[in-house]
Amino acid sequence: SQKVMEVFENRESQVRSYSRSFPTVFNKAKGYKMWDTEGKEYIDFFAGAGALNYGHNNDRMKEKLIKYIQDDGISHSLDMGTTVRKEFLERFNEVILQPRNMDYKVMFPGPTGTNTVESALKIARKVTGRQNIVSFTNGFHGMTLGALSVTGNAYNRGGAGVPLNNTTSMPFDTFLEEDQSLTFLKKYLANASSGLDLPAAMILETVQGEGGINPASFKWLREVERLCRNYDIILIVDDVQAGCGRTGTFFSFEPAGIKPDIICLSKSIGGYGLPLALTLIKPEYDTFGPAEHNGTFRGNNMAILTATEALSYWETDEFAKSVQEKSKLITKRMETIVEDYPQLKATTRGRGFMQGIVCGEGKEDYADKICAKAFEKGLIIETSGPEGEVVKFLGSLIIDEKGIDQGFDILEEAIEEIVK
Ligand code: PMP
């Protein structure tokens, strides 16, 4: 294994990060488990950074894929009409949009989360004729220049080399004390005429993932929506990480009762870990003409095929309920850790299958050490937050209670060793 790791060290760019955090060579994965070339088993509390909500090598999707390839189904066809695209659009409407009384056009903006964010920002600027975008502290929206310009963490900018223009960063709900962020926003918008441009859009995550598992309150989300309506600002919810059931409902904003103008989906929308992104657009804002936003890989039929299969999890509310039920166990296990290890000065936060243990002031380093130790013991879990201070649970939604307990047992053993 050490020899194989050398290939990464010697030949791959030093930008690589996960092969550093998880220093082994994996060759097999199923459900919520992964294995390395030495046959060591790992519980996966990371799930491809949230791209594997339905687990590794999901049987139902795998079966569909194998048959499709055997039958010479079309793998790549840009946005040409295919039976796979047709079926996906029909099923997405039937299973996701209609039951929620949501009328949105579906755009395939390119293969990644970053692509959907780019398309959303461009649409907002096009339909409003305004340039400025309001984003929020600690938000994460992607790595290309548009998405990067609304990403809050400076370290992600990697010396972008060009000015990231026309954006205004505002304090996120959890960044200030209760209601202060709203006061700030309201004052900012009320004074936009005196020199500050009104924004084309506001872009936010309902639970910030990379930013440290910061859940906005439902009240805050509703107030932000109201402000957007008052000033004709496009509300973009980036549900790339928090969507597809991760917080216990298909869209993360459902319990808040808001209706964003544009919704960004990626990561788990493809279902099998295949790259796919969607931009959902209220019909009145569906204004791009042909080729105004294109891309070679916006029509990966295999990803759309598995995405269609993934929708069957949402035909009844059974799956959502199981996610909500299991998330109580995650909360319980995290709260126990916080109580049992006061040395961490930790708190917990999050929603559903997106929860974190936040190591307190002066103890931020613990998170990294805990995750590294847990990895040695067979658990894949990563940190998040501006100081890497959060131990972040992001397991597959299909994990059962036994798997959750197994993972948390390992986590506790790791913490025990780190804090002693
Ligand atoms: N938005 C959010 C909320 C994300 O978490 C991410 C990825 N971590 C992105 C956008 C970017 O997605 P991708 O890495 O697929 O470009």
Model pLDDT, residue 11: 84
Taking the centre of ligand 1 as the mean of its atom positions, its distance from the CA of residue 240, in whole angstroms, is: 6
Taking the centre of ligand 1 as the mean of its atom positions, its distance from the CA of residue 336, in whole angstroms, is: 30
Taking the centre of ligand 1 as the mean of its atom positions, its distance from the CA of residue 243, in whole angstroms, is: 11
Q: What is the model's pTM?
A: 0.97
Task: Find out whether the beta carbon of 109 lies less than 6 Å from any atom of ligand 1.
Answer: no
Taking the centre of ligand 1 as the mean of its atom positions, its distance from the CA of residue 381, in whole angstroms, is: 18
Task: Find out whether the beta carbon of 306 lies less than 6 Å from any atom of ligand 1.
Answer: no
Model pLDDT, residue 160: 73
Pocket test for ligand 1, best of 214, 241, 263, 382 (most atoms within 8 A of CB): 241
Task: Find out whether the beta carbon of 238 lies less than 6 Å from any atom of ligand 1.
Answer: yes
At 37, which helix (H) or strand (E)? none
Residue nearest to atom 1 of ligand 1 (CA): 141
Task: Find out whether the beta carbon of 112 lies less than 6 Å from any atom of ligand 1.
Answer: yes
What is the pLDDT tens value at each position of the chain, 420 positions in all? Answer: 567 788 888 888 888 889 889 999 999 999 999 999 999 999 999 999 999 999 999 999 999 999 999 999 999 999 999 999 999 999 999 999 999 999 999 999 999 999 999 999 999 999 999 999 999 999 999 999 999 999 987 666 777 777 788 999 999 999 999 899 999 999 999 988 655 679 999 999 999 999 999 999 999 999 999 999 999 999 999 999 999 999 999 999 999 999 999 999 999 999 999 999 999 999 999 999 999 999 999 989 999 999 999 999 999 999 999 999 999 999 999 999 999 999 999 999 999 999 999 999 999 999 999 999 999 999 999 999 999 999 999 999 999 999 999 999 999 999 999 998
Output the CA–CA distances (angstroms, integers) from residue 75 to 29, 183, 346, in the order listed: 23, 50, 47
Task: Find out whether the beta carbon of 223 lies less than 6 Å from any atom of ligand 1.
Answer: no
Taking the centre of ligand 1 as the mean of its atom positions, its distance from the CA of residue 229, in whole angstroms, is: 26
User: CB under 8 Å to 140, separation ≥6 — which residues?
Assistant: 151, 152, 153, 156, 205, 208, 209, 210, 211, 241
Model pLDDT, residue 16: 85
Atom of ligand 1 nearest to the CA of 266: 15
ipTM, two decimals: 0.99
Widest pairwise Cα distance in the chain:
65
Pocket test for ligand 1, best of 112, 205, 240 (most atoms within 8 A of CB): 240
Task: Find out whether the beta carbon of 142 lies less than 6 Å from any atom of ligand 1.
Answer: yes
Following DSSP, what letter does each residue of 292-343 receive, concatenated? Answer: SS--TTS-BHHHHHHHHHHGGGGSSSHHHHHHHHHHHHHHHHHHHHHHH-GG
